A and B are shown apart, each in its own frame.
Chain A
Amino acid sequence: MKKKLLALALALTMALGLTACGGGNDTSAADDGGSDTTVSTGTAFKIGVIGPLTGGAAIYGTCVANSAQIAVDEINALGGDIQFELLPAADDVNDAETSVNAYNSLMDKGMQILVGTVTTQPALSVVPLTYDDRVFTLTPSASGDDVIENNDNVFQICFTDSNQGSRSAQYINEHFPDAKIGIIYKNDEQYSIGIRDNFKAEADARGMDIVYEGTFAEANQTDFNVQLTAAQSAGADLLFLPIYYTPASAILTQANALGYKPTFFGVDGMDGILTADNFDASLAEGVYLLTPFSADAEDEMTQNFVTKYQEAYGGTPNQFGADAYDAIYTLYQAIQAAGVTADMATEDICDALIEVMPTISVTGLTSAGSEMTWDANGAVSKDPTAVIIENGTYVTP
């Protein structure tokens, strides 16, 4: 009897599951039909976003998804020929294997253009697939050099890691000429290793004084007592942290407990530290970070974006969100320049966009007043800026 009941229950679950799937398809089909009537030429471009919506880098993924939505809504509201349909963002938990599943699920939903991934590690798994499938890929913030290397269909909105590393070294050398530098980086993540390698190369070339290098890995990314003690006793008065904000927040807390107060210098991964859950933001006072976007900037474009973001989602968007916003507008310009339409095959759209990307120039939130241009490789060229955290906000020093 028990077995029969169980079988019945299982059968019911399956049946419900199937109907649920069917229902989902029905509604999305209905949506497509609806947008058909409002758009004059063909359907909308289906854009997918992959990023960490949960886990240690969740602040980035959610901000990217939200900001992309803002840009898409703005463009659709213009009512022009080019309309976008943003598929529900797919979560990759900043994990390589999960990101491949996320990509496949988006492809099943008919994605034509990928805005992603948000972080480098998953990008390295997804990008070969988009290359094979000929899906045009514009990553807001996956900054690894290998992300664009050998993939003609991938372009970046953010700086490559080599750029971030050498720009940081240049900035430190110019503003802290006598600094004794310590570096703590994560040696099982390509993002962190890439920036550190380029930082070190540039620092060595400039004859800068690196007194300590410490590493950590995924398994021990919450405990930095040993590395901090070593950096302190090596006399490091500037700590370069090419890592994400979660381990960085642990470093700031533990350095405070040890009474170690060097100047901390982060890169784009440090962005988001002020909004980390329950993090004592006073510990981040005086932290430098290299970022192309500051939510406090006075220009109209930034103010419009930040206000819309705060109204729709609460909180202040970070640099990753700004990258995503720029990514959607870059797509908009590229599509205009290439003259592609949404009913074209994915690979034709991809080839046409690859053609025009090196020819367009875009003014965006993250270009600090300059214009973003791309080389055929996919790397962006724009002006970087460093900010310092004062009274809980980013200030240009």
Chain B
Amino acid sequence: MEFLSYLITGISLGSIYAIIALGYTMVYGIAKMLNFAHGDVIMVGAYVSFYVTMFAGSNLLGDDPSTLASGIVALVSVLLAMAVCTVLGVVIEGLAYRPLRQAGSLAVLITAIGVSYFLQNAAQLLFGANPKNFTPIVSGQLTLFGGQLRISYVALLTIAACVVIMLGLTTFTGKSRMGKAMRACSEDRGAAQLMGINVNATISMTFAIGSALAAVAGVLLCSYSPVLQPTTGSMPGIKAFTAAVFGGIGSIPGAFLGGLLLGIIEALAQAYISTQLSNTILFAVLIVVLLVKPSGLLGKYVPEKV
């Protein structure tokens, strides 16, 4: 029964990593760049949701709000966070990355790190450095087997959100016109442009979707581990990037699988081996996988044409 609760902890943590990793992997697949500022967009999303909930709590809701009212506030806060992050993602892409479209990949990478630091410090300036306690968007837990197994509703919501997002994205890229354009850009940007696809608009769209997902991930992350500060997004961001590489960067199912596995390995390593060594074990597994399958679990091996 303990094993089951560790497993559920791992899956819900992994689902958060997976949602973040989807953002990394989409941007990499289509724009061929690593957006290291992605983790900090998560943090911005969480702050937006935090302040919306605070504002509603002190101005709109009474002292003892009904479940429905607080549910609506939570939903609105998530939607607003998504809207803000979408705009932020598109603005970052337009201002920081688009001018460097023809530059080397190293220049873009360094810009991304710069944007990441900019967001962290801007957040520190705007919101202050004091950690804030994030109120989870849902509370309570499900009790099974006569109290032996307790699953928090946050964990259930996280897992459900991850599955829905994953299915939605697969359908979107597979079926819709925009999705087809994205796949075309990913395959060969030059050829796609010649076929009349607006590459810049497609890349902007990718950033918009990735950043909206980051907002969802931010709210779920802070509901799961309730301390919110300007550096909240950086470690989960790095772990999610690892998850994307683990699953095969550029592949949407790969990001999903990588995120889940990473979360499960982390939770089980913490529970059964050592809380101190859990990160070490995590990255050791990554190295082993990459040695055996250099393109990640579900990544396609594409030989470079010389």
Residues of A within 8 A of B (CB): 54-56, 58-59, 93, 187, 214-217, 219-227, 229-230, 233, 246-247, 249-250, 253-254, 256-260, 276-280
Within 8 A of A (CB), among B121-144: 128-136, 139-141, 143
Q: Is the CB of B143 within 8 A of A259?
A: yes
Please, how many angstroms separate the alpha-carbon atoms of A246 and B271 in the complex?
22
Asked if A259 meets B131 with Cβ closer than 8 Å, knowing A219-B279, A225-B9, the reply is no
Q: Which chain A residues lie closer than 8 Å to B78 at the CB level?
A: none
Please, how many angstroms separate the alpha-carbon atoms of A258 and B226 in the complex?
13
Please, how many angstroms separate the alpha-carbon atoms of A347 and B248 in the complex?
63
- Grouping DSSP codes into helix (H, G, I), strand (E, B) and loop, the B interface class, with mixed when no group exceeds half, is mixed
Select one of B2, B154, B278 contacting A220, CB under 8 A. Answer: B278
Q: Is the CB of B150 within 8 A of A230?
A: no
Please, how many angstroms separate the alpha-carbon atoms of A247 and B129 in the complex?
15
Select one of B2, B141, B276 contacting A257, CB under 8 A. Answer: B141
Asked if A278 meets B54 with Cβ closer than 8 Å, knowing A253-B133, A257-B152, the reply is yes
Please, how many angstroms separate the alpha-carbon atoms of A226 and B270 in the complex?
7
Q: Mark B257-290, 1 if CB is under 8 A from A, else 0.
A: 0000000000100110001101100000000000
Select one of B13, B139, B154 contacting A223, CB under 8 A. Answer: B13
Q: Is the CB of B227 within 8 A of A222?
A: yes
Q: Which chain B residues lie closer than 8 Å to A215 at the CB level?
A: 275-276
Please, how many angstroms separate the alpha-carbon atoms of A217 and B154 in the complex?
24
Please, how many angstroms separate the alpha-carbon atoms of A55 and B132 in the complex?
11
Name the distance in Å between A52's Cβ and chain B's nearest Cβ: 10
Q: Is the CB of A229 within 8 A of B9?
A: yes
Please, how many angstroms separate the alpha-carbon atoms of A276 and B271 in the complex?
29
Please, how many angstroms separate the alpha-carbon atoms of A226 and B136 in the complex?
18
Select one of B143, B225, B270, B271 contacting A254, CB under 8 A. Answer: B225
Q: Is the CB of A278 within 8 A of B133?
A: yes
Q: Is the CB of A217 within 8 A of B276?
A: yes
Question: What are 18 A-B pairs at a CB distance below 8 A?
Answer: A54-B130, A55-B130, A58-B129, A58-B130, A215-B275, A220-B275, A225-B224, A226-B270, A229-B2, A229-B9, A230-B271, A233-B5, A246-B227, A249-B227, A250-B225, A254-B225, A257-B140, A259-B141
Within 8 A of A (CB), among B20-78: 50, 54
Q: Is the CB of A278 within 8 A of B135?
A: yes
Name the distance in Å between B141's Cβ and chain A's nearest Cβ: 5
Asked if A226 meets B130 with Cβ closer than 8 Å, knowing A56-B229, A246-B227, A250-B226, the reply is no
Residue in A closest to B127 when the chains form the complex, CB atoms: A277
Please, how many angstroms separate the alpha-carbon atoms of A220 and B280 in the complex?
13
Whether B117 is near chain A, meaning CB under 8 Å from some CB there, is no
Q: Which chain A residues lie closer than 8 Å to B54 at the CB level?
A: 278
Residue in A closest to B53 when the chains form the complex, CB atoms: A278
Of listed A93, A220, A250, A257, residue having the most chain B CB within 10 A:
A257
Select one of A216, A222, A233, A259 contacting B275, CB under 8 A. Answer: A216
Q: Which chain A residues lie closer than 8 Å to B154 at the CB level?
A: 257
Whether B167 is near chain A, meaning CB under 8 Å from some CB there, is no
Q: Which chain A residues lie closer than 8 Å to B128 at the CB level?
A: 54
Name the distance in Å between B199's Cβ and chain A's nearest Cβ: 30
Q: Is the CB of B226 within 8 A of A219?
A: no
Q: Is the CB of B135 within 8 A of A258?
A: no
Q: Is the CB of A253 within 8 A of B130?
A: no
Q: Is the CB of B275 within 8 A of A227?
A: yes
Whether B235 is near chain A, meaning CB under 8 Å from some CB there, is yes
Select one of A187, A216, A223, A246 contacting B131, CB under 8 A. Answer: A246
Q: Is the CB of B225 within 8 A of A226?
A: no
Please, how many angstroms separate the alpha-carbon atoms of A253 and B228 in the complex?
13
Please, how many angstroms separate the alpha-carbon atoms of A226 and B267 in the complex?
7
Residue in A closest to B229 when the chains form the complex, CB atoms: A56
Please, how many angstroms separate the alpha-carbon atoms of A186 and B279 in the complex?
16
Q: Which chain B residues lie closer than 8 Å to A226 at the CB level?
A: 6, 9, 267, 270-271, 275
Name the distance in Å between A259's Cβ and chain B's nearest Cβ: 5
Asked if A220 meets B9 with Cβ closer than 8 Å, knowing A277-B131, A278-B135, the reply is no
Q: Mark B138-164, 1 if CB is under 8 A from A, else 0.
A: 011101000000101010000000000
Q: Is the CB of A276 within 8 A of B133?
A: yes
Please, how many angstroms separate the alpha-carbon atoms of A260 and B50 in the complex?
25
